[in-house]
Amino acid sequence: MTPTANQIRRQYIDFFVKNYKHKEIPSASLIPENDPTVLFTTAGMHPLVPYLLGEPHPSGKRLVNAQKCVRTDDIDEVGDATHLTFFEMLGNWSLGDYFKEGAIKMSFELLTLPWEKGGFGLPARRLFVSCFEGDKDAPKDTESAEIWEKLGIPTDRIFFFPKKKNWWGPAGQTGPCGPDTEMFYDVLNDPDFAKHKPGFEGLNTKCDPSCDCGRYVEVWNDVFMQYNKNAEPSAGSGQAGFSPLKQQNVDTGLGFERLVGILSGKSSPFETELFEPVMEKIAKLSGTPDAGSPDYVRSSRIIADHLRAATFILGDPFGVSPSNIDQGYVVRRLIRRAIRHGKLVGINGFFTSEIARIFIPIYGEVYPELVKNSERIVSELSMEEERFSHTIERGLHELKKTVQGKAPESADAIDGKKAFYIFETYGFPLEMIVEELAKDGFKIPREQLIQIKKDFDESYKKHQELSRAGAEKKFSGGLADDSEKTTMHHTATHLLHQALRDVLGPHVAQKGSNVTKERLRFDFSHPSKMTPEQIKKVEEIVNEQIKRNLPVHYEMLTVEEAKAKGAIGLFEEKYAALGNQVKVYFIGPSAGSGQAVYSCEICGGPHIGNTGDLKHFKILKEEASSAGVRRIKAVVGGIK
């Protein structure tokens, strides 16, 4: 019997909960709270960085979950058999508890135990592993290799690779890091895989896991965070140094979709139950007789992938609407790219919401927020599809104006910057621009196309940097940095949140925030523009709390206790089901004083110790963020 995707996900979590006393924690939001350095949660460890750095986790030192993730770095690669924009990462963590031996033994046991005994039943003879080969910063990881040998993996299936392949580094310039050991499944001569990839059994038998020919499928990655990359260079080296961490952690990641494919005997996630109903729907909508062609396969996968990602982003508790900035810019690009590929495979009329309606029940049991927010998902997709239908004609008109009067063989029909302008303004991807020009006889030479793409990518990169979608940096406690000013701005968001509720009403809820040392940005639910009087009143209330010199402190409480105390925040059903504790920050008199606190909010921290340290609060701007969501930008400190 082939297990279902939901059974596979549950098997993973139950293995650690029942056998090794891990606590299951819910998936964090796809929208990182208070972190301006990344647009989306990109890995299972992302929400856990404060605890990996030493802050105690409410659920203890052993954790396990399935985390929703979105990565857009490889969006142009989507359409092949492996790349996905949205994916689930299965992970288990040790926060200063077990280390290499414990993690490797657990991984091996789960992969090889028969299904009926709680494992995945992969034959050990097909498992290959890799370890860190060592360099000037850290020694060769012979310890991990020796553990694998004791478990029965022969030395000829253990490989040592450099940092590029077997090292997890910090997202920014400093932070926790260390060697990792990766597990690979060898599909050579596997009859189930051979059925889906004719000739697959003929791969080079001398190939090793560093090869990307397809013989080895990376299954799991155990990261051993035992070093801290320091900003200060080591003596005489001129480079950042590596020092041992006081708390050694284990951070593992197993790609859920990849695992489902392996256990289902499929060579691509798009052939599994996670996508199969959607792929069938796309084929029905397109009605194309060329459904087996490489172009159709690529376009249909892009449609399915992009609309799954959009469904999860729109349905997230901090869900964002399509727009031209930040996360909204990404979700708009995903939707419009899917629409464009829908047209390429012959889909006429609106269809995105039909695809979403298939994904929602596939994932609704595990991620109930999709069911709860299903109307919003469908509505946002339909509105964006309608908006795009109007911009297509304007975009085509702009494109024709650009090449008007130029000969089809003209070498300067369009350049990368102009192409990006059309993309940014009308949502036309570069490939769509090239295709439309080709319809009018403009055959762009390959060399020129390479330059256009280069200039286009440079313009896109600058746009990303301006909208803070650039490189991921070090963050602490969910913040861009742990500087005093950033921490001050973070604390001020709590005062602002409560002041907005006082002035506008209890319907106000946080919809996202972006905190740096320069300013805070706070998004909140409210249907209309704030009046000047309301803005002034909110400022006055926050400054009043600053003048009161209120202490800031936190307590570890159960969800029910936090609710009873009036804490505001997102209470997911999973928290209550698991009995997890949460960190609740109070701004106001300490317990026992008999006075009511001003603010009570679930938050991971960090915060300043007293509101008086904020000195003064000033709102710089109040504006629309998206439908039903307003945005405030403000600063604190010795404002002149």
Average pLDDT over residues 613-635: 91
Instruction: Give the DSSP per-residue string, 349-407.
Output: S--HHHHHHHHHHHHTTT-THHHHTHHHHHHHHHHHHHHHHHHHHHHHHHHHHHHTT--
The verdict on 113 and 250 lying in the same domain is yes
Residue 367 lies in a domain: yes
Residue 606 lies in a domain: yes
The verdict on 226 and 281 lying in the same domain is no
Measured CA to CA, the distance from residue 482 to residue 55 in angstroms comes to 13
Measured CA to CA, the distance from residue 81 to residue 371 in angstroms comes to 28
The pLDDT score that the predictor gives to residue 148 is 98
The verdict on 458 and 511 lying in the same domain is no
**pLDDT exceeds 60 at position 204:** no
Measured CA to CA, the distance from residue 241 to residue 529 in angstroms comes to 50
Range with lowest mean pLDDT among 8-22, 137-151, 339-353: 339-353
Number of domains in the chain: 3
Secondary structure (H, E, C), 572-586: CHHHHHHCCEEEEEE
The verdict on 257 and 288 lying in the same domain is no
Helix (H, G, I), strand (E, B) or coil at 118: coil
The pLDDT score that the predictor gives to residue 389 is 86
For residue 191, the enclosing domain spans: 8-267
**pLDDT exceeds 50 at position 235:** no
Measured CA to CA, the distance from residue 236 to residue 228 in angstroms comes to 19
Residue 427 lies in a domain: yes
Average pLDDT over residues 227-234: 64
**pLDDT exceeds 90 at position 254:** yes
The verdict on 161 and 24 lying in the same domain is yes
Pairing of the two strands 629-636 and 599-602: unpaired
The verdict on 351 and 490 lying in the same domain is no
Confidence band of 183 (pLDDT split at 50, 70, 90): very high
Measuring CA to CA, how many Å separate 603 from each of 3, 58, 300, 632?
Answer: 38, 12, 41, 19
The pLDDT score that the predictor gives to residue 112 is 97
The verdict on 102 and 241 lying in the same domain is yes
**pLDDT exceeds 60 at position 36:** no
The pLDDT score that the predictor gives to residue 463 is 66
The pLDDT score that the predictor gives to residue 180 is 96
Range with lowest mean pLDDT among 191-200, 333-342, 412-421, 465-474: 465-474
The verdict on 242 and 282 lying in the same domain is no
The verdict on 242 and 281 lying in the same domain is no
Residue 2 lies in a domain: no
* Cα–chain center distance at 299: 23
Q: What is the pLDDT of residues 66-98, one digit of tens each?
A: 999 999 888 878 998 889 999 999 999 999 999
Measured CA to CA, the distance from residue 380 to residue 327 in angstroms comes to 14
Instruction: Give the DSSP per-residue string, 603-619.
Output: ------SBGGGG--EEE
Supply the pTM of this predicted model: 0.75
Cis peptide before 606 (omega within 30 of 0): yes
The pLDDT score that the predictor gives to residue 595 is 75
Range with lowest mean pLDDT among 73-77, 381-385, 458-462, 585-589: 458-462
Residue 327's contacts (CB-CB under 8 Å, 6 or more residues apart) are: 31, 39, 40, 313, 320
The verdict on 441 and 541 lying in the same domain is no
Q: In what helix (H) or strand (E) does residue 418 lie, and over which residues does it extend?
A: helix 416-426
The verdict on 359 and 448 lying in the same domain is yes
DSSP 8-state class, residue 593: S
The verdict on 136 and 211 lying in the same domain is yes
* First-to-final CA distance of the chain: 70
Measured CA to CA, the distance from residue 218 to residue 254 in angstroms comes to 9
Contact criterion met (CB below 8 Å) for 395 and 433: no
Give the strands of the sheet with 617-626, arranged side by side: 510-515, 520-525, 629-636, 617-626
Q: Which residue has the higher pLDDT, 176 or 135?
A: 135
